[in-house]
């Protein structure tokens, strides 16, 4: 029989350079990881969730019994540390208007901590004006935290917008409001 291929070859563990091969490899490996996850969940009767973003930044997810249920379980049992800013995950876990109040309280608490952090940073700088190099990571982390913070707030706003929109379709005539009033100001 004629040998058609060279067979599998070992792969160096670094980012693949060939974009076409990378795309194919991603798809194959992703599916196999999902398959492995499925097998694990069946063989051992456990809950599992996998979320992966493709090279084209598209999200793929697998979950047993479901993506959301496992995320909820994890986020419930492993709430994000309050030392940082409000996590989007936290908002997700408590996406409920009843909790808006306490949620914002926490936001303010975290802002308080953030303010204190900035103050501490300033004091540390005063104490050692000659050395600055170590501050860079802290600044970068600050930006990341603020970004997460922003996302959390955006998500909160999104939740309110969704509720508002849902209200539009459910509300009786006397409560009628206009959708475009809720959509305004969302172009961040």
Binding site for DNA (CB under 7 A): 1, 3-11, 18, 21, 23-25, 27-29, 32, 35-36
Site membership for a copy of itself, residue 179 (CB under 8 A): no
Residue 164 contacts which entry, a copy of itself, DNA, none (Cβ below 5-8 A, type-dependent):
a copy of itself
Please state, in angstroms and rounded to a whole number, the distance separating the CA atoms of residues 70 and 30: 19
Tokens (6 digits) for 95: 């996406």
CB nearer to a copy of itself: pick between 2 and 133: 133
Site membership for a copy of itself, residue 180 (CB under 8 A): no
Tokens (6 digits) for 154: 């955006």
Please state, in angstroms and rounded to a whole number, the distance separating the CA atoms of residues 49 and 142: 29
Residue 121 contacts which entry, DNA, a copy of itself, none (Cβ below 5-8 A, type-dependent):
a copy of itself
Q: Which of 5, 6, 18, 101 binds a copy of itself (CB under 8 A)?
A: 101
Q: Which of residues 48-87 bind a copy of itself (CB under 8 A)?
A: 48-55, 59, 61, 68, 70-80, 82-84, 87
Q: Which of 2, 143, 173, 179 binds a copy of itself (CB under 8 A)?
A: 143
Please state, in angstroms and rounded to a whole number, the distance separating the CA atoms of residues 150 and 22: 33
* Cα torsion 38, 43, 47, 52: sign: negative
Q: Which of 2, 5, 9, 157 binds a copy of itself (CB under 8 A)?
A: 157
DSSP of 5-31, one letter per residue?
--------SS--S-HHHHHHHHHHHHH
Residue 104 contacts which entry, a copy of itself, DNA, none (Cβ below 5-8 A, type-dependent):
a copy of itself
Of 119, 87, 114, the closest CA to residue 103 belongs to 87
Site membership for a copy of itself, residue 140 (CB under 8 A): yes
Please state, in angstroms and rounded to a whole number, the distance separating the CA atoms of residues 117 and 114: 5
Distance between start and end Cα atoms, the chain:
63
């Amino acid at each position: 029989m004629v040998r058609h291929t060279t067979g599998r070859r070992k792969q160096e563990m670094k980012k693949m350079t060939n974009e076409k091969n990378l795309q194919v490899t991603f798809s194959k490996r992703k599916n196999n990881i999902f398959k492995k996850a499925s097998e694990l969940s069946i063989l051992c009767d456990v809950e599992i969730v996998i979320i992966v973003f493709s090279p084209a930044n598209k999200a793929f997810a697998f979950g047993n019994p479901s993506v959301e249920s496992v995320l909820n379980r994890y986020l419930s049992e492993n709430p994000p540390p309050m030392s940082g800013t409000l996590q989007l995950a936290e908002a997700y876990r408590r996406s409920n208007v009843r909790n808006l109040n306490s949620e914002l309280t926490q936001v303010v608490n975290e802002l308080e901590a953030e303010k204190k952090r900035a103050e501490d940073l300033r004091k540390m700088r005063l104490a050692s004006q000659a050395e600055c190099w170590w501050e860079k990571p802290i600044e970068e982390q600050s930006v990341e935290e603020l970004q997460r913070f922003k996302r959390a707030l955006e998500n909160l706003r999104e939740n309110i917008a969704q509720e508002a929109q849902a209200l539009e379709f459910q509300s009786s005539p006397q409560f009628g409001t206009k959708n475009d009033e809720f959509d305004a100001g969302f172009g961040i």
